[in-house]
Amino acid sequence: MSHPLAASSDGSWLNDPAHRAYLIRDAQRQLDFFDASLGQDGGLVTLDFTGTPLAGPQELITTTRLVHSYALAQIAGRPDNAGIIDRGMADLWTRHRDAQHGGYAWGVDENGITDGLKLAYGHAFVLLAAATAKQAGHPGADRLLADVSDIIDRHFWDDSVGLMRDEFTRDWQPFSTYRGMNANMHSVEAMLTAYEATGDMLYLTRASRILDFFVGRMAPAENWRLPEHYTDTWQIDRAYEGNPMFRPAGSTPGHSFELARLLLQMWDVSGRDGSDALVQARQLVDRALDDAWDTARGGFIYTLAADGSVARDARYWWPVTEAIGVLAALIKLDPQPQDEVWYRRLWAFADQHLIDHARGGWFPELAADNSKAMDQFTGKPDIYHALQADLFPLVPTLSHSAKALAGKKPLAERLL
């Protein structure tokens, strides 16, 4: 391995100075790599493995995740010398925001909107970017937060069921009856962050209602696997298969890790009430670890059929990062021996196979022999998942991570 993961095997790695220095170093190298996301002609771009900008329109997911990630890093004390936050916030307001119909377009370029689809998934990330930018003190955060919250109120939030509708045309015409877990899960993430940024209870109430449906109702009924796809009456649609990255058929174990961490964040920020959040989180995590870890090659299987058998055996970086995040949360809250074993196993796997020690950033996809693959992705699609895997274990909290990251010393000076 290129860098020591920890100085010794004694105690928890979360408290090991060498491991913490490793996390900070990887975060810094990721940020150094993704500084090149500021395109020469304006806008934010995706990068190939070497950090060279890739051609194509600017997507909402790229803009929002970069703003969120760089705002977190700025809060932690790493200056945004590349100007990613300012550029991204400007692009959200002047490029992605649809001045004619309202809402935020999925694809844009220097000439305007290239893909006017209005997705709950994309708007959840606009809310996340605005909320994190607000915590970083960005002057454009309040107007963006107010605008996207209004759009969510008027078009996406279905108060009759306490869940998000998924998709509309550019002029807000419904064109499908699809409902999905992914957009709702990321809406929970955004709403919890917006609550932490503003104190507005509406965000917290809505996040709770979404979690109640998926964790309180669906997961127990499905042996703690989370069905991804639903009809407009919120019946499971097991036959559905859409985009192979965002809407693959079956269940996605990586989302169980992510939702479990958000459940613990919700429980923590709500005052650690008498709910079953910890038990439920462990059920989700244990099921996903048992179902999806590839014992021969390492990494997590991407999707499963309803009976838990393998549906798509592709292995991506982001389920590893999300498992790291929730295991760190469990270690902080209720450490069990297996949590530490898994936490170390996942970092060892990431260090050996996913982290680009030569240039920075993480490789997104592995071939059968654990070499780099490019079947689903071209280049390194974003910094969001992997940066959070570095930063969240550094703080002692389960919620208000941005506040906890705001230390007295800049991130660059915290290397040991």
Please count the residues of the chain.
Answer: 416
Q: List the structure tokens of 308.
A: 């838990």
Active-site residues, by number, are: 255, 385
Pairing of strands 157-158, 118-119: unpaired
Identify whether the C-beta of residue 407 lies closer than 8 Å to the C-beta of residue 75: no
Identify whether the C-beta of residue 129 lies closer than 8 Å to the C-beta of residue 181: no
Alpha carbons 194 and 126: distance in angstroms, whole number = 11
3-state secondary structure of 168: strand
Identify whether the C-beta of residue 334 lies closer than 8 Å to the C-beta of residue 280: no
Which residue is associated with the tokens 């090991």?
16
Alpha carbons 151 and 387: distance in angstroms, whole number = 28
Q: Which of 321, 293, 326, 325 is nearest to 382 (CA)?
A: 321
Alpha carbons 353 and 258: distance in angstroms, whole number = 21
CB atoms within 10 A of CB 54: 12
> What is the 8-class DSSP label of residue 330?
H
